Structure 1
Amino acid sequence: MNTTLAKTLHWEKQPDTLDFNLNDLVKSASSVIAPLGPITTFAARNPWVGLEGQTFEKTARWLKETCDVDIYPNDSVFQSARNRGQIHQEFLEKGIQQWLNSQSLELPHEEAERFCRTALLQTQPSSSVLEAPEIKSMARKLNRFTSQMTEKHSVKTYSQRLEQQGRGKAAHELNRHMIKWCKLFLNESQAVWSMPSREGGFYQAWQKLVRLDPALSRKIRKQLSELPEEADAALMEVLLELEIPFSEIQDYFEAHFLALPGWGGMMLWRSQQSMEESSLLYDYLAVRICLEWALVKPSLPLPEKRKDKVHLEPLIAVWAEWGNLPIDAWSQLSSTEIKARLTLAYRFDKILRNRIWLEAWEKTYEDQLKKMITSQQPAGAAENVKPALAQFVFCIDVRSELFRRKLETAGDFETFGTAGFFGLPIETCELGSNHTHNSLPVMFKPQYRVKEFSPDSKSYQQRHQAASSLGDTFKTMKHNLVSSMVLPEISGPWLSLQTLARSFVPRSAGRTFSKLYETWLHKPSTDLSLDHTDTLETDLPIGFSAKEKVHYVRQALKMMGLTDHFAPLVVICGHGSHSTNNPYSSALDCGACGGASSGFNARVLAALCNLPNVRKSLEKEGIMIPKDTVFAAAEHITTLDELRWLYVPELSEEAKESFLRVQAALPKVSEKANVERIVHLPNLGTHFKNPKAEAQRLSDDWSEVRPEWGLARNAAFIIGERRLTQDCNLGGRVFLNNYNWQKDKNGAILANIISGPATVAQWINLQYYASTVAPHYYGSGNKTTQTVTAGLGVMQGNASDLLTGLPWQSVMKSDKEAYHEPLRLLVVIQAPRDYVKRMLDHDHAFHQKVKNGWIRLASIDPEGHWESWS
């Protein structure tokens, strides 16, 4: 065996260090992908969460070099935005000036400015121009000027390098095999037979079966069967064979992760869930690199990698087209002038121009938002202290903004915004279900379990179990070789009737089937396990202690800014969506609750707030909840813009009056919200008579690919008092989080909002952004051609990467027109400047995001002055 790499790494002298280094390198390399959980509990993920230590522009350049992925919007998106008046020329000019001022170019400023301004508005020269003989001739004459402009070489996998050299399709074959093995190993819900030896881990299960794989040649199968049985030993051996320099190993691992970021992301997520699978990511990389070694071995050694030199033809061509510099004029220029012009054209490249376009678009939006808010809210306006008839606490979700606006104009109602999990770190278990769900943001772990129970639950559980068993039996028969042949005869009549009904009268069919199911189940009234109970059935405590109840209620009230002036009725509103035949249904639920409705959390918080002992303890801390104030829980159904009651306890006389007023107002609120929201859906426009019926049809129609827009077009996160934006139509684009800096002297509340809700909002924002600008890589393609795979996620066809992002229909209005506007999230904080600075000084992670361009920041001081921090 060749020992060149071993000597380089001193592996022969330090075998223990090798294992440590490789594990460390695998972990570091995995930062280029994001963990990907199952689609049934879809939670928005920032695909670049591990790359925020470098600038957005630098990441864009690296991704373009490494896997040819553009993460800036394309020219058509920018031009469309400019035509709509969303990119102002003044901000493009400022972007040019700021960049030129940061450069040292031995070139007249006016000439450089003119070149950049023209370049921004033009497309790249055509290939026919670049191939012109005179340009090629001039490029040869100026070749000596490329020494200072050498292209950075990106590390590729060996199979990718072979394909680049035109020597077969090794990278395609490697991906095809990896997809097959990942599906086999991870498939737990749809496989008839599970993969043997799974308990030993991915590598060992693969190593025992790959020797039988008919898709590989006998020679390759023999080579793979002779590999060590342990993943770490096999990976070491193959790296030695491939002779990869130590300095390039992490880059090499990163290239492998980026080749299939979906399947790699799923392995990463699984490795983080339990100690039993903590080595899964290492196993994945060992399998992939061992397979690559076997596939490329006949072609080894590969030719030495060469550093790519800059091609001068495009630089000369753009000066001819954008700088009014004829090709023959280069001969009359001095060496200093030639170098300056080539340097300017080289630096002012496509990625930089796209950065200026995007920043101008973002600054235009910020300017429009600033004018809207400051014109509606005079500085120093007195706070309205008139007691409200009812108060509603909504999730910060952008879809709440529209409903809140309509609700506030329907009566003496006040609304608040806070994170949809309401600060409760719980795992939920609904009545009749053995399934639990982490009902909190995915960056946190649950600390308690809350169960739904009822004294009359036995018969309900039997009916629920019967329904579940029927579904499981149908699934088992469908996957069984013999029973699948007779299943159509048994199920045909019923399924045919259901198909016809759901196809031709989806709204009526959906409503009828749901009503029949609910009537048959007849769920009894239930209680929640709020009191702490010692149990051995779970690692988590069930319920809360007395002190914990007070703590979480106090925390929730302070976070939502509701510590005084309580209305007779306070409604905690969770939210969820309703759609049919939609693998992405959980993506439309609460992002703060891990892809589930936040109604359960709303009910838990409302029940805790009604406890007399909790209120008595809060009184000692100055939070006086009137005796007649009652907390209730409801759920905002975003597909229908409807508020459904989940928990209404016994009401006081004052609360009862408020409840009746709310009940009377809600139908009109729902109707107005539907009218405003539904016109933005394509192919509808204003051609419908009954907006509520149309919304119902969209949610029940199993052929509908777009039941609602979800959080598309989200653009800003405002942390401040509601009166700041109450008179503004924010177009359902803004996350609204209540905050009063005067009640946050030490800045703890602001710090929690930034680290929690603002981070969740940023992940949502970048998920939509990535799915729009790079749908083929970070999105999930067309819904109509997706295949639900292994119960985990979706693929396009039967052999693609596990798709990580949102479908085309969630971000695009048509094949050529984007609906979502890919802007990085703007966070606006209403607080004195020193509050914002203190937060940035203490929260280094958030400060880094702002500095590196992953998020934007602005603030409004008590006098109403707007300041941009990014």
Structure 2
Amino acid sequence: MNSELSIKDHLRLTSASDVYPDPRLMEAITIAHRVVAPVWPLNDFVAVNPALNFGDQPFGDGAGTLQAATGGRFMLSKGDLATAAADGRIPSQYVAMALEDLGLATRYAVDDIMQSLLSKESEDALAFWPSVADLARATGEKPWADFVTDQISSWAASYFPDNSAAVKAPWGTHPPFAAWRRYSQRDREPGFMGLKGFRQWAGTLDEDPLTLLTTVMERLNLPPSYLSPYFSRLLGSIRGWAGHARYREWHGDVPVAHSMVTALLAIRAAYDLALFELLPNERAADPWTMFLNRSEEPQRMSVDDAVLVAQTALELAEQDNFIAQLRDQRAIVRDVPRPSIQAVFCIDVRSERLRHAVEAEDPLAQTYGFAGFFGVPLSVLTKTAERRDHCPVLLSPTLHCTHTAHSPQYGEAASAWSGFRSGVVSAFAFVESFGLGAGASILKALSHRKAAPALPSVGNPDPLPPVDERTDLALRILKGMSLGDNLARLVLLVGHDATTENNPYAAGLACGACGGHSGAPNAVIAARILNDPEVRTRLADRGVALPSDTRFLAALHDTTTDDITFLPEPLWPESHVTDLDKAKAVFSAAGAATRRARAHGLGLTGKTVEPQIRRRSRDWSEIRPEWGLAGCNAFIAAPRARTYGMDLEGRAFLHSYDHTTDTEGGILELIMTAPLIVASWISYQYYASSIDNETFGSGDKTLHNNIGDIGVLEGASGDLRVGLPIQSVHDGMRLRHEPTRLRALIEAPTEAIDAVFDKHPDVKALFDHGWLHLTAIIDQGAAFYRYQPGGRWIETGAATPAVFAARAAE
């Protein structure tokens, strides 16, 4: 789990020769970095939790900091919660449970919380930490804060490397702050807006960002108590471009002093200093001084306790309702002599609907859930010589593949419109900076646009790993899938992708974890390794004998159309042609059933819903080709028997796990430190984009303006957007994703879960601090124990809750 480094870590990683300014400044900068979550480019889209760096703090504190730094909302409003309470969704006993969990039971009574929600007093506006730009009085209609953000966005769009941009910035070889300083000395717009002498003033600045930040600290008279809030606010106002910088440093431990995020902080601070020094005092310096002279301490922001308690109570009540449904499943027992088909799907919530349909179509079929890269951390070299990682960003590829073929639904070349859209827009900043003369460069770029590469679906390891390494990989795959010993003649490994046209967020529909890339090449290579005679011989030597008539085959699930493509295998045996034909018939019928089940949610009715769904996938003007992972609210790691027959409506991440075969707990550890964390990132991106799309989403898809393949602006200005379009979470009438924290249900002894916590305190902190909910499923669904922050397990749903310590020593 990659998270922000501590202050001590940053100081340790910086060479001894570095000379730091005031240590309070360095501490404040490092704390401010927490506000910035990485933002991956469009072609490598990754769903990210905006609060990624706050896992070591209580949920309420982290939410309060984000709200104060961004001015946006990170929790449900009192109005939303009052409505839920009026609908009976927040029973009083769950308010009491929430007060206990949050350590507030001695401060508030249940009635206090309910009265606060139901009072008719209007909810106060969210408080935030102001900057000089926030307080400065503009003479025109546009606030200074928006102007500053636009200026930084124009510069950043032309500075950051973009593979699709044909026009490059003349200052692109300089470090970020030095590059911005050169840019600013040629930028006339601040002067036109009233910052007289801005270009000359910018030329007087030192090129070192830490020196600039020291200067800002001194000239703005920043008190120590406001230093980290102030820097957090500055980064919060440009969280899109700061997030892009954070992405560029994701795989390296870059000391805070040398981080591009720090450079962007210095750029944003420089604009505040310019406003303070270049505007008349009554418009900037005076309001700022009045703010600093106020009596109250501004260093901490927290959320309303009533909101925190009520939202927690709502989530606990919904969790128990879900557990009640799982209890009913305990009576369902499947006795299958030998499965007709076994199909391993990605844990993606959209796979759940199709799994349910496959099992309904063929009662002898068995389905499983596993991470959609099938345990094969792969990078693919495309025909255009680009390397693309087909694995979760928490991992680094260890296998490399050369592209050899394409899935049939992807064309070989992009349209001229696509080339224009992705290759030229990032040059628009030149027009603003250098005038109409830049138009010739843009026209030239049109003639050199680059077609987007088609997504690879079939590949070969390049070079083929040694047989021992292939055998080790095969063992990890088999154990992780929890397939058991009773293998079918045909085992399908079903990756997923999504068909969509004219959609900057297309990769987000493909996969929220693997850089927006298809799981097809991973499935192909995993199947070939598992079919490899040499590997099977070595597996048998290690006590894992696969049936001689079992064959593995890769397939691809198109989540927009629910069509299944069986990927060609040149050495497919004649003996298994009939098995494959039967599987195709089952999946064809299951796909049709899934399309019909999804149709109502897409607003489609009548007898022609299936062709309508396919039409939507090819319609370049369609803003909602599918709902993606909207609605995701649960992560379940358990045998399929626990959820078999349940229609979970595409809301649950389903990971197959049998703790009885995981005697050393290695698979549980892997699940809790990788797939569960990835699911939480996805859940939180939908959560944040639903609660406050303006702040944590990307606004209206119809207004998006691509900055190459880096990201989008909403319209022609503003910050780089960080989350999902409003059309991904809202149907125009209501939210399609209810913003609640993810609940994890794991079928394993509490002692086994505690053992993982002991080894991974950062994962434990997510549950101790309330970022995620956790329930242990015990004795094949006979009992459910809820993890309570602090390390206790409480039996949920019992008349008299049994509480016992998580560790014997306690």
TM-score for both structures, normalised by structure 2: 0.83
Please give the residue correspondences for 1:645-656 in structure 2 after superposition, counting only pairs within 5 Å: 645-652=566-573, 655-656=576-577
Structure 1, unpaired ranges of 5+? 1-13, 106-111, 128-150, 311-348, 491-516, 533-542
Residues 1:104 and 1:397: Cα distance change in structure 2 (over 3 Å)? closer
Which of 744, 752, 761 in structure 2 is aligned with 1:835? 752
Structure 2 equivalent of residue 374 of structure 1? 327
Residue 249 in structure 1 maps to residue 227 in structure 2: yes
Residues 1:698 and 1:181: Cα distance change in structure 2 (over 3 Å)? same
Give the CA deviation at 1:162: 3.7
Structure 2 equivalent of residue 821 of structure 1? 738
Which of 48, 52, 55 in structure 2 is aligned with 1:52? 55
Give the CA deviation at 1:453: 3.6
Structure 1 equivalent of residue 385 of structure 2? 434
| 3-state secondary structure, aligned to 1:228 | coil
Structure 2 equivalent of residue 317 of structure 1? none
Structure 2 equivalent of residue 188 of structure 1? 162
Structure 2 equivalent of residue 706 of structure 1? 624
Which of 69, 74, 80 in structure 2 is aligned with 1:71? 74
Residue 862 in structure 1 maps to residue 779 in structure 2: yes
Residues 1:648 and 1:855: Cα distance change in structure 2 (over 3 Å)? same
Structure 2 equivalent of residue 351 of structure 1? 304
Distance 1:396 1:475 in 2: 31
Cα-to-partner distance string for 1:708-762 (whole Å, 9 max, x where unaligned): 0110110100001011111211111100000010111111110100111000000
Residue 424 in structure 1 maps to residue 376 in structure 2: yes
Structure 1 equivalent of residue 542 of structure 2? 621
Please give the residue correspondences for 1:504-519 in structure 2 after superposition, counting only pairs within 5 Å: none
Residues 1:191 and 1:724: Cα distance change in structure 2 (over 3 Å)? closer
Which of 279, 283, 292 in structure 1 is aligned with 2:263? 283
| 3-state secondary structure, aligned to 1:718 | strand
Matched-pair contact (CA < 8 Å) for 2:69–2:234: no
Give the CA deviation at 1:652: 4.3
Which of 289, 303, 317 in structure 1 is aligned with 2:289? 303
Structure 1 equivalent of residue 529 of structure 2? 608
Cα-to-partner distance string for 1:599-625 (whole Å, 9 max, x where unaligned): 111111111111111111111222111
| 3-state secondary structure, aligned to 1:199 | coil
| 3-state secondary structure, aligned to 1:703 | coil
Q: Report which stretch shifted further, 277-286 or 202-211.
A: 277-286
Please give the residue correspondences for 1:150-299 in structure 2 after superposition, counting only pairs within 5 Å: 155-162=129-136, 169-186=143-160, 188=162, 193-217=167-191, 218-246=196-224, 248-272=226-250, 279-298=259-278, 299=281
Distance 1:397 1:791 in 2: 25
Matched-pair contact (CA < 8 Å) for 1:186–1:790: no
Residues 1:76 and 1:667: Cα distance change in structure 2 (over 3 Å)? farther
Distance 2:763 2:214 in 1: 38
Give the CA deviation at 1:182: 1.4
Q: Report which stretch shifted further, 85-94 or 200-209.
A: 85-94
Q: Which amino acid aligns with 2:160?
A: L
| 3-state secondary structure, aligned to 1:179 | helix
Structure 2 equivalent of residue 119 of structure 1? 116
Residue 42 in structure 1 maps to residue 82 in structure 2: no
Which of 745, 766, 769 in structure 2 is aligned with 1:852? 769
Give the CA deviation at 1:552: 1.5
Residue 560 in structure 1 maps to residue 481 in structure 2: yes
Structure 1 equivalent of residue 394 of structure 2? 443
Residues 1:805 and 1:482: Cα distance change in structure 2 (over 3 Å)? closer
Residue 530 in structure 1 maps to residue 465 in structure 2: no
Residues 1:587 and 1:168: Cα distance change in structure 2 (over 3 Å)? closer
CA root-mean-square deviation: 3.7
Matched-pair contact (CA < 8 Å) for 2:47–2:513: no
Matched-pair contact (CA < 8 Å) for 1:163–1:170: yes
Matched-pair contact (CA < 8 Å) for 1:717–1:826: yes
Cα-to-partner distance string for 1:153-208 (whole Å, 9 max, x where unaligned): 97543333445999994433322321221122126356563211211122222222
Q: Which amino acid aligns with 2:222?
A: I
Give the CA deviation at 1:366: 1.3
Structure 1 equivalent of residue 804 of structure 2? none
Cα-to-partner distance string for 1:205-251 (whole Å, 9 max, x where unaligned): 22223112111335221121022233343443443333334554333
Distance 2:266 2:349 in 1: 43
Give the CA deviation at 1:486: 12
Cα-to-partner distance string for 1:78-99 (whole Å, 9 max, x where unaligned): 4565677654454346546877
| 3-state secondary structure, aligned to 1:570 | strand
Give the CA deviation at 1:18: 2.0
Distance 1:95 1:753 in 2: 27
Matched-pair contact (CA < 8 Å) for 2:159–2:171: no
Residues 1:649 and 1:405: Cα distance change in structure 2 (over 3 Å)? farther
Residues 1:819 and 1:126: Cα distance change in structure 2 (over 3 Å)? closer
| 3-state secondary structure, aligned to 1:625 | coil
Matched-pair contact (CA < 8 Å) for 1:23–1:282: no
Distance 1:581 1:473 in 2: 12
Matched-pair contact (CA < 8 Å) for 1:203–1:284: yes
Q: Which amino acid aligns with 1:708?
A: E
Matched-pair contact (CA < 8 Å) for 1:421–1:592: no
Distance 1:241 1:866 in 2: 59
Give the CA deviation at 1:297: 1.2
Distance 1:621 1:842 in 2: 28
Q: Report which stretch shifted further, 115-124 or 209-218.
A: 115-124
Distance 2:144 2:713 in 1: 21
Residues 1:825 and 1:34: Cα distance change in structure 2 (over 3 Å)? same
| 3-state secondary structure, aligned to 1:392 | strand
| 3-state secondary structure, aligned to 2:402 | strand
Distance 2:595 2:530 in 1: 32
How many pairs does the alignment contain?
A: 734
Which of 618, 637, 645 in structure 2 is aligned with 1:719? 637
Matched-pair contact (CA < 8 Å) for 1:577–1:589: yes
Residues 1:656 and 1:617: Cα distance change in structure 2 (over 3 Å)? same
Residues 1:572 and 1:649: Cα distance change in structure 2 (over 3 Å)? farther
Give the CA deviation at 1:691: 2.4
Matched-pair contact (CA < 8 Å) for 1:410–1:669: yes
Give the CA deviation at 1:798: 1.1
Q: Which amino acid aligns with 2:710?
A: L
Distance 2:586 2:260 in 1: 54
Give the CA deviation at 1:355: 2.1
| 3-state secondary structure, aligned to 1:450 | strand
Which of 780, 784, 787 in structure 1 is aligned with 2:698? 780
Residues 1:625 and 1:647: Cα distance change in structure 2 (over 3 Å)? farther
Give the CA deviation at 1:19: 8.2
Cα-to-partner distance string for 1:55-87 (whole Å, 9 max, x where unaligned): 111223333444432211234544565677654
Residues 1:717 and 1:665: Cα distance change in structure 2 (over 3 Å)? same
| 3-state secondary structure, aligned to 1:404 | helix
Distance 1:61 1:275 in 2: 27
Matched-pair contact (CA < 8 Å) for 1:403–1:641: yes
| 3-state secondary structure, aligned to 1:592 | coil
Which of 748, 751, 755 in structure 1 is aligned with 2:673? 755
Give the CA deviation at 1:783: 1.1
Residues 1:125 and 1:165: Cα distance change in structure 2 (over 3 Å)? farther
Distance 1:427 1:829 in 2: 31
Q: Which amino acid aligns with 1:545?
A: P
Q: Which amino acid aligns with 2:760?
A: D
Distance 1:698 1:614 in 2: 43
Residue 805 in structure 1 maps to residue 723 in structure 2: yes
Distance 1:773 1:467 in 2: 35
Residues 1:18 and 1:862: Cα distance change in structure 2 (over 3 Å)? same
Please give the residue correspondences for 1:133-144 in structure 2 after superposition, counting only pairs within 5 Å: none
Q: Which amino acid aligns with 2:611?
A: A
